[in-house]
Every structure is written in C-alpha cells, then in structure tokens.
Amino acid sequence: MTIMKIGKSGIKTPRISMGTWAIGGGTWWGDNDDSESIYAIHCAIENGIRWIDTAPVYGLGHSEEVVGKAIKGRRNQVILSTKCGLNWESTKGTYHKIIDNTAIYRDLSAKGIRRDVEESLKRLGTDYIDILYTHWQSEEPEHIPIEETMGELMKMKEEGKIRAIGASNVNIAHIGEYMKFGQLDVIQEKYSILDRKAEMLMLPFCETYNISVQAYSPLEQGLLTGKVSTETKLRAGDVRNNNIWWQLANRGLVTSMLNSWKPIADKYNCTIGDLVIAWTVKRSKNINVLCGARKAEQVRENVKAEFIGLKESDYDRMTKEADNLLKRSKC
C-alpha cells in the first residue's frame, strides 16, 4: 500500500484508515455484535490498514472499549487515534448535543483534556495514543483559548502520552491558532466527492504548512457504496436521517450518477464504493481516507480501493459528473 507521512510527526501510514464510529452502536447506529467488530479490526490490520480511529463519544466509551479489546497483543501493529473535548461526565463546558439521552458538553480546558485522555487510555488498554484530536472546537459561553488547549496537548506529548496532535472540525483561523502554540500535524475534516468545501481553503493551506488531512465520511455514511436506492428505509433515530444527501430528492440524483459508473467499476473489477474511495485517494497526496466499517467484508472492500490505479480519463469523468450533480442538487 502507498505510504504517507503524517505532518512532521514522523508517523507513517497507508493512505486508507479505519473509522470506528459505527462500532460504538447506540441510538445513531443500532446494536452491533462486538465480536464481529473485533474481527473487523483484526481483518483491517491483517490487510495492511494500520491507522484505527475512534473517539470517547462514539457509543459513550463503547467504541474505545471494543478497539481496546481488538488491539490487545497487537498494539505495536497499529497507529491509534482518538479524541478529546466532548464530555458527558459533568456539565462543564458549552452544551454540544444529546446523544443516547445523554447531554454532551464541549470542554477543551487543560483539566478536561487530561481527564479525557486518562479515561481513553484505560478503555483502550494502552499507555499512549499515537494521534490525539480535539474533537469539536470550544465555543462561548465557556470558550477555552486554544493557547490553553495546545499547552496541555504539548505537555502530554512531552510526557509520552501522545505522539502527535490533531484537530477535528476546524477552520483556517483555528488552525492558525494551533500552530502558534505548538506542532499541529493533522486535521480531520469531512470530505467526499459530494462535499468538497475543504478544497477551497483547507487543503491548500494544509499542503503549504505540511499538515495532513484525514477525510471522514468519504462514502457519505454508506450512500456512495452503490448499495443504496430511493427505496432504502432508515429507522427513526438513524444518524443518516440528518445527512442532506440521504434526503430522497438528492438520493435519487446520487443513485442515478452511481449507476452510470457501473461500467467503470466493472472495468476495474471493483465495487462502486471502491471506485469512490480510489477517487478520493487520488484527489490529493496529502489526504488519508478514513473509511468506516463494522464488518470484515466492508474492510476487505475498502482495502481494494488502494490498488485500483484509477486512470486519468475515468477520474476526470467522475469529477465532471459529480460537479454537474452538485450544481443540480439542493445542497
């Protein structure tokens, strides 16, 4: 697999990584078989995926616990990232949202970060985290200056509890502040062939300052796998009900476009989802593509995308048709 460097951290990883949001289960994703989730993570490792991403808030600790069980005895085979800054154990910080009937608060204070990391280390069964992201940025009325946040992160890096610092769901101003007070190596940002807002400023900025970008939701929560139709029903509470691309009018446009790509997928002997991941990998050498999975067969499909070798003519056609869809959609 093609290897990329993560910022200036010295950490190297294949271009495709595994996301474990859905493994956390809960109201948004429904029940999971934890043994199947663990097997999926083992499958990822055995098929060359090194970077496993999780977060405390995924299933309110459950995703981290499952990941911890999966990497037991395999810790040196993985690059492990998790996050800090979303707290449900106290009301300190600014209200974020309700998850599984639990109020979540944004708290990026030094004390809050320390608490989050210590709890994550316990759930993950490890004594260090390779990459620690701030999950969502601090807001009023209890805004914490990035100087305080980054100061604690740099301290934990010196202590060996984390190897690299990342920030998720940020803007250019946030990134500039992080850079003032320490070394920021990677950001995690939503990016897909249907959601390319990051291309306007974020990607060029990060390329200039040697900050890697880990793209989440590259398949728009499963919509771009080619396995979804306008007849697909989502249960009440499913997180995908909040995704504008899953709305029926837009879903019809997307499925029509994906169906037109079937001959391209057949040429490469791959799935539509593989094709979309391959497009995302090709978009920028600075992008790591975070592919969510909770079953081994999903992992195996995601890995195939790395070896497609998408030709320029097919890449250009996909880009042009996606551009046209974006113009016609309600997004």
* Residue ranges per structural domain of the chain: 3-221+273-310
pLDDT, residue 264, reads 97
Q: Which of 58, 133, 216, 268 is catalytic?
A: 58
CA distances, 32 to each of 36, 124, 219 (Å):
8, 18, 20
Q: What percent of the chain is modeled with pLDDT above 70? A: 99
Residues near 170 by beta carbon (within 8 Å), at least 6 away in sequence: 134, 137, 178, 187, 189
pLDDT, residue 328, reads 83
pLDDT bracket for residue 330 (50, 70, 90): low
pLDDT, residue 26, reads 86
Residue 60 is classified by DSSP as T
Q: Is 58 a catalytic residue?
A: yes
Q: What are phi and psi of 39, to 5 degrees?
A: -65, -40
Bridge partner residues of 215 (DSSP): 189, 289
Task: Considering only residues 242 and 132, tell me which one the structure prediction assigns the higher pLDDT.
Answer: 132
pLDDT (tens digit, 9 = 90+) per residue, 10-30? 999 999 999 999 999 988 788
Q: Where are the beta strands (DSSP E) in 230-312?
A: 287-292
pLDDT (tens digit, 9 = 90+) per residue, 201-227? 999 999 999 999 999 999 998 999 999
Both structure tokens of 92: 């300190």
Residue 292 has pLDDT above 90, yes or no: yes
The answer regarding whether domain 3-221+273-310 maps to CATH 2.60.120.260 reads no
Residues near 56 by beta carbon (within 8 Å), at least 6 away in sequence: 64, 82, 83, 84, 86, 116, 119, 120, 123
pTM score, whole prediction: 0.94
Name which of 21-35, 138-152, 163-177 the model is least confident about.
Answer: 21-35
pLDDT, residue 331, reads 64
Residues near 156 by beta carbon (within 8 Å), at least 6 away in sequence: 113, 114, 117, 132, 162
CA distances, 126 to each of 14, 271, 283, 298 (Å):
22, 36, 34, 26
pLDDT bracket for residue 248 (50, 70, 90): confident
Q: Which amino acid type is present at position 143?
A: H
pLDDT bracket for residue 171 (50, 70, 90): very high
